[in-house]
Structure 1
Amino acid sequence: MTLAEDIQALIRGVRAGQFLSVGIVGALFDTLVLTLVVEFAGIEPFWAKFVSAEAAIILMFVVNDRWTFSEEAGGGLVPTGKRFVRSNVVRAGGVAVALSVLYVLNGYFGVWYALANVIGIGVGFVVNYVAESLFTWRVHME
């Protein structure tokens, strides 16, 4: 299969919908944690994003591992730990995209930080889905 065919296979079917559903929950959780850290800890949105992103990554990993990619996940603590590390590395790219969008929209254009965060998460969604499918859970295209 070509890369284009692999990507088309990834966006078809139930798995993409499950990943999107988990991503929406993760985005809401990320934004909630971001807001709590900014408002109650007084940390700037740019720095608070690191805390909220990791909290959301943990939540989304657990749900994706048990639901979205349950066929590929396999059991046991060691395989799960390896997938968790891969997921964090892969999602660093998505966090970099979200953080960049948050920084630009909030810092340069004055967009409310929570809205800028949601927009950034949306921009990084496609990158995360493809990278998570191929590298974290090692989905094989047929």
Structure 2
Amino acid sequence: MGDSGYRAVANHPTVVRLYRFGLVGASAAVVQTAVLWLLVEFAGLNYLVAATVAIEFTIVLQYVANNAWTFQHAKYTTRYDYFVGLVRTNIVRGSAIPIQLALLWAFVNWAGLVYLLANGFAIFISGLYRYYLDSRWTWQIA
């Protein structure tokens, strides 16, 4: 593939959105991991309960960033549409919480990983699911 072929792929809207979604997700993963650590180590919460709280905290942060940057061409600008999008992303990401928690539990209990590392793997895997549903339903990109 020549230079122009690479540029065509790299600049394809789906690739750009996936890249941006990944950057927003990676940033949120850092925040989520920090909140998880704080809640486990300082608040004494069980890692699964703490992960649930940390996930919900980052859902809103990611929606704001994804609406403004990742899906900027389809972003919601009116209050009503913005609220509908926020509800949709909460449904999508809420449905991903059991997936992420199950993966987190499995990585900790079956693979023997430390909960913070296990959380990173769980975020990545469940992120593929979230991208697909967010792009198709929340922002209605075909």
Distance 1:34 1:132 in 2: 24
Partner of residue 58, structure 2:
56
Partner of residue 91, structure 2:
89
Partner of residue 7, structure 1:
none
**Cα distance, 1:30 vs structure 2:** 0.9
| Gap regions ≥5 residues in structure 1 | 1-9
Letter in 1 for 2:33: T
Question: Which runs of structure 2 are paired with 1:25-104 in the superposition (5 Å)?
Answer: 25-104=27-106
> How large is the Cα RMSD of the aligned pairs?
1.6
**Cα distance, 1:74 vs structure 2:** 2.8
With over 3 angstroms needed to count, the CA separation of the structure-2 counterparts of 1:77 and 1:47, relative to structure 1, is same
Letter in 1 for 2:57: A
TM-score w.r.t. length of structure 2? 0.86
Specify the structure having the higher radius of gyration (Cα).
2
**Cα distance, 1:96 vs structure 2:** 1.7
Instruction: Answer yes or no: is the 8 Å Cα contact 1:23–1:125 preserved in 2.
Output: yes
Partner of residue 16, structure 1:
18
Identity of aligned residues (%): 32
1:41 is paired with a residue whose SS is coil
**Cα distance, 1:11 vs structure 2:** 8.2
1:13 is paired with a residue whose SS is helix
**Cα distance, 1:73 vs structure 2:** 1.5
TM-score w.r.t. length of structure 1? 0.86
Distance 1:26 1:11 in 2: 22
Instruction: Answer yes or no: is the 8 Å Cα contact 1:26–1:59 preserved in 2.
Output: yes
Distance 1:88 1:99 in 2: 16
2:45 is paired with a residue whose SS is coil
Instruction: Answer yes or no: is the 8 Å Cα contact 1:94–1:121 preserved in 2.
Output: no
Distance 1:101 1:133 in 2: 23
| Gap regions ≥5 residues in structure 2 | 1-11
Q: Once the two structures are superposed, what CA deviation does each residue of 1:80-128 show, in whole Å capped at 9, x if it has no partner?
A: 1110010010112322221101112223443211011111011111111
Q: Relative to structure 2, which stretch is displaced further, 73-82 or 106-115?
A: 106-115
